[in-house]
Amino acid sequence: MSIETILVLNAGSSSIKFQLFKGEESVLSGQIDGLGANAWVKGKSAEGETLMDRALTAEEAQNHNTALQVILALVHQFDPNVEVDAIGHRVVHGGTQFTHPVLVTEEVEKELEAINNLAPLHNPHNLAGIAGAKAAFPGKPNVACFDTAFHRTQEFKNEAYAIPLKFYEEGVRRYGMHGQSFHFISEELHNVAPEIANGKIVVAHLGNGASMCAIENGKCVTTTMGFTPLDGLAMGTRCGLIDPGVVLYLIGEKGMSVEEVGHLLNKESGMKGLSGISQDMRDLENSDSPAAKKALEYYDNRVKRELGALVAVMGGIDALVFTGGIGENSSLTRAGVCEGLEFLGIEIDEEANKARAKDAITISKPSSRVKIMAIPTNEEGMIARQTRAICEA
């Protein structure tokens, strides 16, 4: 079947982000926040025209099913004649079995429910989004696209933890996240830098959530996130890499519950915890506080350490790509990460770095052996692309 119009949904616990694609172009985007209480919807066209910006009624805000009816109304307000051909869903965790996007069937939904324990903060809400879409768009195909799928090409040596093997066989392993972003960048390189697209690439997806991925010949070699999104880099409110003994100390010596430790590491740590000021890098970059400066230095250093590890695992590097909200927009972060890495052949051009435009741009010096780029990611566009491929196959 020919697929022209695709609605991409990213459902959270109390929110739904959405984009409407016609062909490869996003024509409508928006978000519903606060489901359950004080919900609000915002929607705008690709040209920036606000189409909806209002509170949801109590009836509309009940759950994902009722919220999807609001999105459907917005789609029809935007274009009364539009017909959504398919719905693509971001699903955070695909476990070991889902290595590619799949058409959602009752069997697939049952399999996803069975692995909810691997991502209890995300997958149940992703499934709620699927249920809502089935109710709002009866008979239309739904496609699940997984954040973890891109990383399933990792070998055992990069995927396993050094705990008894039975846990690996049960599914305790390094899954990685941000797969849609890494997949998009690996394909986009064929358009903007084809000479290095199949080489050894490190992509740094830096945002409120952050991870890095070593990619060779378009495939994931290894990544910094592990079993959960807590591992690897320091993030907005997540701690990143931490000695497991610290967790045991917090429980055993400080008397904290598992729930309290989970909240601390997920919501009160990272840049927010280190600085005591904010999780927003823009706030920290504009602050005169010594704590903000230390937090920024820590952030750059963690990215640098992970970069070194990824380069070592691949046995070299041809290109370093920055993406994500911070990676695309913070010249200070890009400069801080690249500082002192001339021995790896990484030489950033200060002027090009500061002048980086919205489009992909090379920010390395002509003499740099490693190409340094800042490329806007497009996770929703990747989901739309995958949805179309599955439905038209």
H/E run at residue 352: helix 350-354
Residues 6+ apart with CB under 8 A from 157: none
Q: For residue 391, which of 138, 103, 183, 135 has the smallest C-alpha distance?
A: 103
How many other C-beta atoms lie within 10 A of the C-beta of residue 320? 29
Considering only CA atoms, which of 129, 110, 12, 24 is closest in space to residue 382? 24
* Pair of tokens at residue 178: 């941000």
Q: Helix, strand, or coil here: 356?
A: coil
Task: Give dist(CA 364, CA 361) in Å, integer.
Answer: 9
Task: Please say whether the beta carbons of 32 and 74 come within 8 A.
Answer: no
Sheet holding 371-374, edge to edge: 219-223, 210-216, 200-206, 319-323, 371-374, 361-362
Place of tokens 């070299």: 316
CA dist 300 to 69, 159, 307, Å? 43, 25, 10
Q: How far apart are CA 189 and CA 373, in angstroms?
A: 10
Which residue is catalytic, options 33, 53, 85, 147? 147
231 a catalytic residue: no
Q: Which residues contact 307 (CB under 8 A, 6 or more apart)?
A: 202, 204, 212, 320, 337, 341
- Name the β-bridge partners of 16: 11, 32
Rounded distance, CA 35 to CA 33, Å? 6
- Joined together, the tokens standing for residue 121 give 């903060």
Q: How far apart are CA 267 and CA 225, in angstroms?
A: 17
In the block, residue with structure tokens 């907005």: 236
Q: Distance between CA 355 and CA 366 in Å, rounded?
A: 16
The token pair that represents 44 in the structure block: 């705008």
Residue 169, C-beta contacts closer than 8 angstroms, at least 6 positions apart: none
Give catalytic residue positions: 147
